[in-house]
Amino acid sequence: MKVAVITVAGVSSRFNTGIEEEKKCLKAIYTEGDVQDTLLFHLLKKCGFADRIIVVGGYKFEDLKQYIAEQVSEKEKEKIRLLYNECYAGLTSGYSLYLGLEEAFRSSEPDEIVFAEGDLDIDDDSFAEAVNAAGNVLTYQCRPIRASRDVLLYQDGNGAYKYLFSSAHGLLQIQEPFSGIYNSGQLWKFADMEKLKMANRAFYEKDKSETNLLIIQEYIDRIPQEEIRTACLRQWTNCNTREDYKKIRERWRGEER
């Protein structure tokens, strides 16, 4: 069984900067026209490969629930399990992924799990190539790395994969020799369910206030390097602002022409 986990629980603070309280929204379902021109709708289409899709929400949860009820086909809704992360305001992205993985293990017996953050726009071909690659997949993007906005994926002197980022969007320092460096694409595929269960438990026991990268790092630390593949995402945008959304929407329109 193939499972996709999508997390959209965050408060969208940068996306809603300067917006009146009553006009603030969940960026995954934000639109400036066609109600299906949303990050979530496009991501759900890409996840059509999955037997089950787990969507973890929090902020503006009722709006999210209504959107799925109104815009997703009845056939696709049969695949979707919508979860509420009641700690969305107090904890970071890790707890949403933790809940999604726990639900996947509790309600099904997955052979592989694909995890995508819900504020991303990725081209269809790159997404499909990552999903269809055999085994465990870490993705990277092709644009220059900026410490203020990006997550760093690097290989240390022994070739082990490690993640590095600044929650304050400040400078980054790699404190050890490295053999490779990538700009993380924030789409992952996990193929060893027992090790993923162990990583999820370790996250909860160590510090459930950490980001989803703690779960992912706990997982890849348990996987032999030869069982990890990397895949390039040729078109990748992290939608942090409404200007980002406008650029993404223009790309969608270009694909439709």
Maximum Cα–Cα distance for the chain, whole Å?
52
Say what the pLDDT of residue 184 is. 97
Say what the pLDDT of residue 253 is. 84
* In contact, 1 and 113? CB cutoff 8 Å: no
Consecutive H or E run containing 228? strand 228-233
Per the structure block, which two tokens stand in for 194?
């027992």
Show the DSSP H helices in 90-211 as ranges.
93-107, 124-132, 193-207
* Spatial CB neighbours of 171, under 8 Å, sequence gap ≥ 6: 147
| Total Cβ atoms within 10 A of residue 211 | 20
Per the structure block, which two tokens stand in for 203?
């996250």
Say what the pLDDT of residue 257 is. 57
Q: What is the CA radius of gyration of the chain?
A: 18
Average confidence score pLDDT of the chain: 95
Q: What are phi and psi of 27, to 5 degrees?
A: -65, -25
Distances (CA, A) of 101 to 35, 106, 115, 166, 213: 29, 8, 9, 25, 14
Q: Model confidence over 16-75: pLDDT tens digits?
A: 999 999 899 999 999 998 999 999 999 999 999 999 999 999 999 999 999 999 999 999
Residue with tokens 């030869």: 226
Q: Model confidence over 73-99: pLDDT tens digits?
A: 999 999 999 999 999 999 889 999 999
**What is the arithmetic mean of pLDDT over 162-185?**
93
* In contact, 131 and 114? CB cutoff 8 Å: yes
Nearest alpha carbon to residue 42 among 235, 243, 213, 220? 235
What's the pTM? 0.95
Task: Evaluate if residue 170 carries a pLDDT over 90.
Answer: no
Say what the pLDDT of residue 256 is. 65
Consecutive H or E run containing 122? strand 120-122
Say what the pLDDT of residue 151 is. 95
Say what the pLDDT of residue 163 is. 97
